Structure 1
Amino acid sequence: CPHPVLNVSSRLRSLSRLQRIQGHMMSSHVEPEVLLEKVGRAGVITMNRPKVLNALNLSMIRQISPQLKKWENDTETDIIIIKGVGGKAFCAGGDIRAVTEAGKLGDSLAQDFFREEYILNNAIGTCRKPYIALIDGITMGGGVGLSVHGRFRVATEKTLFAMPETAIGLFPDVGGGHFLPRLRGKLGLFLALTGFRLKGRDVQRAGVATHFVESKKIPDLERELVELKSSSAENVSRVLDSYQNQSTLDSEKPFVLHQHMSDIDRLFSSSSVEGILQNLKADGSEFSKKQAEILSKMSPTSLKITYKQLQAGASLSLQDVLVMEYRLSQACMVQTNRLNPKWNPSTLEEVSDQSVDQCFSSLGEKDLTF
């Protein structure tokens, strides 16, 4: 039974939040959270919440989705560019805290947010026009969903990519089950389970970005893309390649995981998460010890869900992966230990296959449809 005092205090909190929001709306000049502009023959989407590292919320999704479709069908628009402002982040993720709080209160935001976010991820993945994400800065969670399924992803030395969801009791969603298992060897599974952070040129070397261009060259790159007379995918590719060729920064440094790739492939090849942990502990190298320690801090339920998600996703289309991930998102919202480091169950052994399988089961008419 819900605690009455907590209930009242959370209601009061919601009320004061509402008053704050209304206060914001009354102020004379509210910066739009996302800018949608037509520049030449390019549609340009700019995430405009620099104070929260351009975190994605439902109102932004609801502005981007119809505009993306409009530009895709518009004969006057040839390409679509997406970027963030503020110099720190492309988009550091979804507004998960708000969604999680809503989930606890039984609010429909937890359903709407994931449903509409995944529909947008799919629209990006199927977009018929060249879609270019300038991932200059932090790109995590929801920001990955806005970029990785598009045709072109341009990383810079400021790019920081990670899917850190297992640390907060979630799983690498937004189509992570589609792109992660398609990275070479067991790299995707490694990134998904450990939340390992890739920086700069390594984001491209891992296969997450298609190009690497120095951050200071991005404004010129954008200008040249916008001014393209004929914006076919080939022409866009040519421009991106030429900027990449001018960017020699860090080119002599090897891929950060280069010396560990064969270890990752060997140690993360197991039919279970328990097996992976056993491999890591038995291996005894510094690298393995560190990964075992990282995994021991993650949500055991999340680790098992993520393992199964990537296993299944390897042979599914992006759409089917998103249907699966929507089921998982709703299962995770029901379990209330989100964002709580005291995991329950607290060990991998206590997480039954049955409880994991349940998270993947159909929601019937509430399933995600496109």
Structure 2
Amino acid sequence: MTAPLLVPAAVRGSARPARRIVSWGFGPTALRLFALGLAMMIPAWIDRRAVLVMFVWDAVVLAACAIELARMPKAGDLTVQRSWQETLALGVPASVTIEVESGGSLPVTLWAADYVPAALSAELTELKIELAPGATALATYTLVPRQRGDAALDLVAVRYRGPWQLVERWAIASLPQTVRVYPDLREAQQHTLAVIRARQIAMEKRRAHAFGLGRDFESLREFEPGDELRDVCWTATARRGRLVTKIYQPERSQTVWILIDTARRTPRSRWRRWRRRRAIAWRSSRTGGAGSGTCRRREGPRTCGRCSNCSQRCSPKAPTPITPAPPPF
């Protein structure tokens, strides 16, 4: 099945260490074991050999941490993918899937956090994924777009632990992607039937309501009791020899739509022509008359001068040029 074109495409990338020098730390199990070894300092006040036991204990814990760290998959062994389930619409919850593929030989418990902008989600969601060695696992979270337009996403943070919970690694995956949030079209579809029904009711009311009898001729018919004499067509009555009544079309209301184009791409030349016509009309109204005129561009004076000349020529008080009479023979 082919995904709709408006659904963002899936983005896939490999993870890398989150830090350049140290990108791992001790897990909760290791911290508890170190705390237990530190508790061995209490009997050291009686027997100093307890200090030696503490150091041996800590060495064993460090060795276990080193073994688990060596067996855990490195950051480069993880592949992260972000995929979308539906089109992003304003105010409509959308599902996002984070899929992680492991190339290591040890099962890990992984937590993934997708850093999304505030326009898509206000809370940072951390997903828990149980990942087997050489397998792929996924988790889904939901976000609600708050603003229309384009939103940029990039990093997915990952932290994972081994089965002993001794060591934790940190990694990040760069998944740059720009998604677009569209208007909520589902809400408009839900109200489509209501809008159609409202239009039908309005049309029925307009058909049933007549403002007047009207005087537009429609047809002729035989005279019936109750018809007014002023509606009798006397010419047709004379031809047929019986009374004939005129039928007129009733007056009905009409819906008038006024559309105003406020786009930025409206040519400026139209605006300039409108300003010149408005200046001419204003000048004519000031002089007590009405007039119109046209001015060609790049001929004669500039815009203000052309408008002034046109208003003077169109003024009703402007002197009419006198054509000299031809010389007598």
TM over 0.5: no
TM-score for the superposition, normalised by structure 1:
0.15
Larger proportion of helix: 1
Larger proportion of strand: 2
TM-score for the superposition, normalised by structure 2:
0.16
Give the structure with higher Rg (CA): 2
